[in-house]
Structure 1
Amino acid sequence: MGILGWLGFSGRDAGTGAVPVAQPQALDQGQLFDGISDPYLLQFLRDGGVTQSGASVTPDSALKNTAVFRCVSLISYSIAMLPLHLHRDGQQLEKATDHPLFRVLHRKPNDWQTAFEFRQLMQTWALTEGDAFAAKVRRGDQVIGLLPMDPRRTVVEQRDDLSVVYKFTPKNGGQRTLPARDVFHLRGFTTDGLRGRSLLKQAAEAIGLALQIERAAARLFRNGMIVGGELRMAQGKKLSQEAYERLKASMEEREGAANAHRWLITEEGMEAHPFSQTAQGSQHHEMRGHQVEEVARVFGVPRPLLMVDDTSWGSGIDVLGQMFVRYGLNPWFEAWEQAIWRCLLSDREQDEYYAKFNAAALLRGSMKDQAEFFAKGLSVNNQQPWLHQDEVRGWMDLAPRDDLPKPIGKGNEKDEPARTA
């Protein structure tokens, strides 16, 4: 049985001999515990599981931290929302819309996901697990579909002959072994060339401390009594047992955030002395801010994009956005484009096609800045042009037009009417 068989395809049609491409069965997406040999458990034990702070950092627990969730979702959504097109080499403005892979990358990788959903899932796995895998559905040597494989149930193995195989364990049991030619593999930062390293695991201590700080704050608001002061008896006096019991009951009624700062009835001449803000409270606030910065550093996301900085949202935010694209997203653009070239194009196609993200929308300035830039390049003021209309339309993700006048200075002087002195 080949890959189409165990993924749910019924083989070639008896009448036409064609390979059906509709209704493939989804690969496993579950995270249930299947026993002591469950791959999730083995991976958890192999990675250490618990940090020095006492917090257990897994992808599910880490994503409960708002800074981690923001970083992962921001990068994943950015990768997912940008157009990803297949081009013919040497003709960037011409999209290879007639190639089956164009539709897989740009519209529909499989029967239950859009291209946006597929790339968002794959990028999330690459960030949280270090790798993202998808089984290839082929017609001849062309890829016509991609089926995501959970990296927590996938083992990458390099054999003695240096060939690489992928061992996937579906939810219903039974291990499947796929050769490298049948798998699309997107790697993150790697130290061995086979598996990427999870950013969550690399930052486990920072994330674990952030989780513990959040839990400490939650416990404070759930169980703490926020009265902001202390009760004192006059010197030489002692609180009676009856008064103590009444005071204790009154204080218990004021536990929790809902009862914060309510008045307390004192007993037998007690005096209330409010507390000033303690250094411990200030340190707790600083630690929460510092852990957000640590998480942002790992993922390469500027602090203002995590909504934690005092920087005003003016012209400077454009510069921060461009920095995020250049240094935070560009490495992932390149990783995707080269993985597509390596895994999804045949040897004969690799010299003719390439995939490219259109990140121009994220790097553009304001509409006013763009208009001024294009005006200078197109020679609006009768200067020598150095841009063509179709180049501008390509950057704006618009198709070329034949009804536009050809600019002077681009090899079209002969088409212009003769000028007399």
Structure 2
Amino acid sequence: MHGDDPCACSSAGTGSGNHRDMSTPNNAGSSILTEWRARREAERAAAQGTHTIPISEMEPGSEGYSWLTGSSPGRRAVSERNALAVGAVYASVALIGGALGQLMLQTYTVKDTLKTPVQGDLWYMLNEEMHPRWSAALGWDFSAQSLLLHGNLYIRIHRPTPFSVNVESLEPIHPLRCTPLLHEDRLIYTIVNLDGTVETIDQDDMLHVPGPGFDGLRGMSQIRHVLRQPISTALAANDVGENMLTDGLRPDIVLQTDAKVDRDQVKLLRDQWMERYSGLSNSNAPVVIGGGLKVEKISMTAADAQLLDREKLTVEDVARIFGVPPYMIGQMEKQTSFGKGLEELGTSFVRYTLGRHMTKIQQEASRKLATRGKTSIAYDPSALLKGDMTSRYAAYRAALGRAGEPGWMRQNEVRQLENLPPAPDGDKLFNGTVDAQSNPATD
């Protein structure tokens, strides 16, 4: 870390005032963890046999299976993998994760009420490379997926030593590899590393952003709760549609006859029908029957089953859960009911959907990585709020000022927003007393 980075040497755990050594369970010098482990083992021993579920009984429909998979009796198990197999879920998660990856987490030095942007080592980690294995965009995309599906975002803070306030790297952690626990009114986190080792770290070494339903330990898993019904229904509809295509869109039928047939004749006729006319390869084979048999259709078509309508409802349900305008994930119907124009919809998405995630992330980053009263961290959403060129340039002209209208932005400030080099005389603020045509800031 460079000593000139005002945000690199930050105070870890500014709320607590100190940084605790919670590096590994095998750390002989950690009396806090030793005491916690002893208490935990005692609690487990006392609770043994009170509510145990044998592994052999964890089958579909059982309580244990439901607890592990997020399913409920009579429904399909919902996991991260098959949740992302639903197009609306994948599109929503990719949209929000990609948007957070585009935004800049700006670091500032604070003096009185003035915040000055700086770009040091911490800025580089937040916006370019979090970890040797993670670019910043990939890290925020993955973390958003964890937050949106599992209800918790975990990013481990690696420091040079357990007592250092400097930050070496930020490592995203999958929620299934991290368990938060409470000890003496502080959170500690047990992490299963990729190599199988287990570590326990203090809350000052973990960025933890929970979703809705935070109970003091973790947020509520969307997979186990709000996404369970729409995903289960979507998976069932996909299975029905796939079966219809596999069977060549041929409906279920009944062969009727007034003649008397015995069991062997029924079996023979059924086997012959399945061999010659069922399956996708036989979907176009003509049906030839005799002996006074009549074919009667008894199943519903895709239109009768309303599979297409059900798919639209699933998209709307998922969009409602994630707070995404349906048109952003490919549902183009009824888009005008959400606002006046796509630009307004995009602004609303940034303000109300991304805003609730940005606020929690920047607050957690500031309290764990910044020094209270000296540095701060905040998102800059301007990249997603830029209007079209005509409206943007009209706003710049008003900000620079015109005859009789003092400006409140300098020319170089505007040029910086458009990623242009500074002009030699671009740091003068127009006071509105010179004719607009002779004002270099507006020419």
Q: TM-score, normalised by structure 2?
A: 0.71
- For 2:282 and 2:340, locate their aligned partners in 1 and report how far apart those are by CA, in whole Å: 44
Deviation by residue 1:221-256 (Cα, 9 ceiling, x = unmatched): 22x3524697988x97899x99x9789746644434
Contact 2:412 2:427 (C-alpha < 8 Å) held by counterparts: no
State the Cα distance separating 1:381 from its structure 2 match: 6.5
Match in the other structure for 1:210: 234
* AA partner of residue 212 (structure 1): A
Gaps of 5+ in 1: 7-34, 37-41
Percent identity, please. 23
CA distance in structure 1 between the aligned counterparts of 2:381 and 2:400, rounded to whole angstroms: 22
Is the contact made by 2:405 and 2:431 (CA closer than 8 Å) also made in structure 1? no
Counterpart for residue 147 of structure 1: 171
Residue 329, structure 1, aligned to residue 354, structure 2: yes
What secondary structure, in the 3-state scheme, does the structure 1 residue paired with 2:308 have? Answer: helix
Q: Secondary structure at the match of 1:121?
A: helix
RCO comparison, higher one (Cα < 8 Å, 6+): 2
Q: Deviations over 1:257-303 (max 9, x none)?
A: 56556644454787888999758634232222212211111111111
Residue 122 of structure 1 corresponds to 143
Q: After TM superposition, give the deviation of residue 76 of structure 1 in Å.
A: 0.8
Match of 1:186 among 209, 225, 242: 209
2:88 to 51, 67, 75: 67
Q: What amino acid is aligned across from residue 330 of structure 2 in structure 1? A: M
Question: Structure 1 residues 183, 279: closer, same or farther in 2, change over 3 A?
Answer: closer
- Per the TM alignment, residue 315 of structure 1 is displaced from its structure 2 partner at its CA by 7.5
Q: Separation in 1 of the partners of 2:201 and 2:414?
A: 44
Match in the other structure for 2:310: 287
Distance 2:297 2:192 in 1: 61
Q: Which of 368, 388, 410 in structure 2 is aligned with 1:388? A: 410
Q: Secondary structure at the match of 1:202?
A: coil
In structure 2, the CA distance between the partners of 1:88 and 1:278, relative to structure 1 (3 Å rule), is same
Aligned to 1:298: 321
Equivalent residue number for residue 14 of structure 1: none
Structure 2 residue matching 1:88: 3-state secondary structure: strand
Taking the aligned partners of 2:107 and 2:206, their CA distance within structure 1 comes to 19
CA distance in 1, matches of 2:427, 2:191: 57
- Name the amino acid aligned to 1:339: E
- Which residue number corresponds to residue 377 of structure 1? 399
The question of whether the paired residues in 2 share the 8 Å contact of 1:187 and 1:195 is answered with: yes
What is the root-mean-square deviation in Å for CA atoms of aligned residues?
4.0
Pair 1:226 & 2:249 matched: yes
Q: Which runs of 5+ in 2 are unaligned?
A: 1-20, 26-53, 56-62
Distance 1:391 1:230, change over 3 A: same
8 Å Cα contact 1:229/1:272 also seen in 2: no
1:71·1:296 contact (CA, 8 Å) conserved in 2?
yes
Aligned-partner residue type, residue 210 of structure 2: R
After superposition, residues 125-140 of structure 1 pair within 5 angstroms as: 125-139=146-160, 140=164
- CA shift, 1:338, in A, is 0.5
Counterpart of 2:182 in structure 1 is: 158
Q: What is aligned with 2:107?
A: 86
* Distance change (3 Å), C-alpha of 1:256 and 1:390: farther
Residue 177 (1) aligns with residue 200 (2): yes
Matching of residues 328-367 of structure 1 within 5 Å: 328-345=353-370, 349-367=371-389
In structure 2, C-alpha distance between the alignment counterparts of 1:69 and 1:251, rounded to whole Å:
38
CA contact (8 A) 1:51 1:205 kept: no
